[in-house]
A = this chain, B = another copy of it.
Amino acid sequence: MARNTFPPESPVQRSAPAGGRITAKDLAKRIGVATSTVTRAFDPQSRISADVRQRILAIADEAGYRPNAIARSLNRRRTGIVALVMGDMTNPFYPAALEEFSLQLRQSGRQLLLFVVPPGGDADELMPQLLQYQVDAIVVTAARLSSHMSDLCGRQGVPLVFMNRRVDDPTVWSVCCDNQRMGAAVAEYLVNSGRRACAFVSGDPNVSTTTDRLLGFERGLAAQGQRLVACVQGGYSYEGARDAVAQLFAAGQPAIDAVFCANDLMALGVLSHLRMNTALRVPEDVAVVGFDDIRAAAYPENALTTVHQPLREMIECAIRLLDEGRPGGSVAESLREIPGRLVLRSTA
């Protein structure tokens, strides 16, 4: 038999690669066209005769062929991958954001590479790994990033969007709810409903999301001739807020009659303390207001009055910004604020 002498000179002419994965070249050979023609069949922009395209697509489908996105990425210098860096998965707001992100990114034909920064950790360590994968853009939410890493992204030409966090850097985008205005709106509402001693439960005094809400709250109080009576640290967690507020009330402060929390999770912790450990009635004796409008806020046993963050719009905005490259103008222009909405339930 001359069988095994068939390709005598060709050195490594294996037409079926080990992995079992079929390539454009295989397909082309089988159909009798050039590999570039196969490529063009998959690109709607390309000019190619309708019948050839159809034939190629049909056979490709039958053979289970789809273009290798890795090879394409290398060639096009665009991966279609967006990195999402996220901290604090324990706050239900962020899983909800993640779900919406995933949905919208897929609708725009992109993939989502996820990085969760561990509780005490820093997003900085993740960046090298992340940049190695040549992501087209990076979205950071609920995590801290050094300015060093931020302009490393800049040098590599990777757009960076902070979501639910504002940074004073005109070269990166920020998308937020209008935190100051909503903080003021909460103040106005509480004072109008007769509250005279308001406290604030902060998340982290270094994070804009918290400080903007606080600033707006204080300004809103001032506009009505009041001042903030107390401000405690809740560390963004249920337990942290519960314990902080326990101390606050145990300290026999001048009877606080309203507590505004930087997020819903902490507000639930506050509610828990008031209901389980004190005789105070909500809302008669103490009003509680949260921020985010997570699902649990609407549960009847919580019925939490809170500020609704328009998650879908915020994420739509963030994704639009990904295509804009890096912002060109001032800090103010690099910030997008989406209006929130006060949702009245039964705790205030």
Interfacial residues, chain A to chain B (CB-CB below 8 A): 19-21, 64, 66-71, 73-74, 77, 79, 81, 89-90, 92, 94-96, 98-99, 102-103, 106, 111-116, 118, 126, 128-129, 131-134, 152, 155-157, 238, 268, 272, 275-276, 295-296, 299-301
Max chain B C-beta neighbours (<10 A), residue from A112, A152, A275: A112
Q: Are B66 and A131 in contact (CB under 8 A)?
A: yes
Q: Given the complex, which residues of B lie within 8 Å of A133, measured CB to CB?
A: 69-70, 111
Q: Given the complex, which residues of B lie within 8 Å of A115, measured CB to CB?
A: 102, 106, 112
- The CA-CA distance from A268 to B106 in the complex, in Å, is 32
Residue of B nearest to A71 (CB): B74
Q: Are B156 and A20 in contact (CB under 8 A)?
A: yes
Q: Given the complex, which residues of B lie within 8 Å of A152, measured CB to CB?
A: 64
- The CA-CA distance from A98 to B133 in the complex, in Å, is 20
Q: Are A129 and B113 in contact (CB under 8 A)?
A: no
Q: Are B68 and A132 in contact (CB under 8 A)?
A: yes
Q: Are B112 and A113 in contact (CB under 8 A)?
A: yes
Q: Are A98 and B116 in contact (CB under 8 A)?
A: yes
Contacting A301 at CB < 8 Å: which of B19, B128, B276? Answer: B276
Shortest distance in angstroms between A314's beta carbon and chain B's nearest beta carbon?
A: 17
Contacting A95 at CB < 8 Å: which of B20, B95, B131, B134? Answer: B95
- The CA-CA distance from A228 to B116 in the complex, in Å, is 42
Q: Are A132 and B276 in contact (CB under 8 A)?
A: no
